[in-house]
Amino acid sequence: MSANQPSTSATVTIRDVAREAGVHVSTVSRALSPEKRSLISGEVLRVVEEAAQRLGYRPNRAASALRTGRTHTIGVLVPDITNAVFPPILQGIEASAAARGYFVFVTNVVDHALARPVLERMLAQRVDGVVMATATRDDPLVDFVTKAGMTAVLVNRADETGRLPAVVSDDRLAMKLAVDHLVGLGHKRIAHLAGPQTIPTGVGRRLGVEQALRDHRMKPFRVVECASYSREAGAAAMKQMLEAGAAPQAVVCCNDLVALGAYDALREAGLRVPQDISHRPQRHAPGRHGRPAADHHPAAAPRAGLARGRDAVRGDRRPFDVGLDGGAAPRAGGAPVDRRAGRHALSLRRCCRYHHQRAMSSLRPM
Given a contact cutoff of 8 angstroms between Cβ atoms, the answer to whether 84 and 286 are in contact is: yes
Across 168-173, average pLDDT? 88
pLDDT score of 159 = 85
The two beta strands, 346-349 and 321-325, are antiparallel
Domains of the chain listed by start with CATH number: 14-59 (1.10.260), 69-169+300-324+338-361 (3.40.50.2300), 171-280 (3.40.50.2300)
156: nearest Cα among 109, 209, 202 = 202
Angle between helices 300-313 and 353-361 (to 10 degrees): 130
Burial 329-363 (b: 16+ CB within 10 A, else e): bbbbbeeebeeebbebebbbeebeeebeebbeebb
Bridge partners of 321?
Answer: 166, 349
Bridge partners of 192?
Answer: 223, 252
pLDDT score of 238 = 97
pLDDT digits (tens, 9 = 90+) for 333-343: 333 323 232 22
- Alpha carbons 341 and 344: distance in angstroms, whole number: 8
Provide, rounded to the nearest whole percent, the portion of the chain with pLDDT above 90: 44
Q: DSSP string of 62-89?
A: HHHHHHHS---EEEEEES-TTSTTHHHH
Across 277-285, average pLDDT? 67
Is residue 335 left, alpha or beta, with left meaning phi > 0 and alpha meaning psi from -120 to 50? Answer: beta
- Going from the C-alpha of 90 to that of each of 152, 181, 198, the distances in angstroms are 16, 31, 24
pLDDT digits (tens, 9 = 90+) for 154-170: 998 888 888 898 888 88
pLDDT score of 249 = 95
pLDDT confidence band for 292 (50 / 70 / 90): very low
pLDDT confidence band for 97 (50 / 70 / 90): confident
pLDDT digits (tens, 9 = 90+) for 294-316: 333 334 444 544 554 444 444 44
- Alpha carbons 355 and 322: distance in angstroms, whole number: 10
- Alpha carbons 61 and 73: distance in angstroms, whole number: 10
Bridge partners of 252?
Answer: 192, 280
| Sheet with 166-170, edge to edge strand ranges | 103-108, 73-78, 129-132, 152-155, 166-170, 321-325, 346-349
277: nearest Cα among 285, 267, 287, 292 = 267
- Residue 364 pLDDT more than 60? no
- Residue 283 pLDDT more than 70? no
- Alpha carbons 214 and 219: distance in angstroms, whole number: 6
- Alpha carbons 116 and 134: distance in angstroms, whole number: 11
pLDDT digits (tens, 9 = 90+) for 316-334: 444 444 444 444 333 333 3
Give the residue with greater pLDDT, 51 vs 279.
Answer: 51
pLDDT score of 119 = 95
32: nearest Cα among 3, 62, 64 = 64
Across 350-362, average pLDDT? 29
Give the three-state DSSP class for 20. Answer: helix
Residue type for 194, please? A
pLDDT score of 340 = 30
- Alpha carbons 30 and 336: distance in angstroms, whole number: 55
Give the residue with greater pLDDT, 217 vs 338.
Answer: 217
In this structure, the chain runs to a length of 366
- Alpha carbons 255 and 235: distance in angstroms, whole number: 12
pLDDT score of 315 = 44
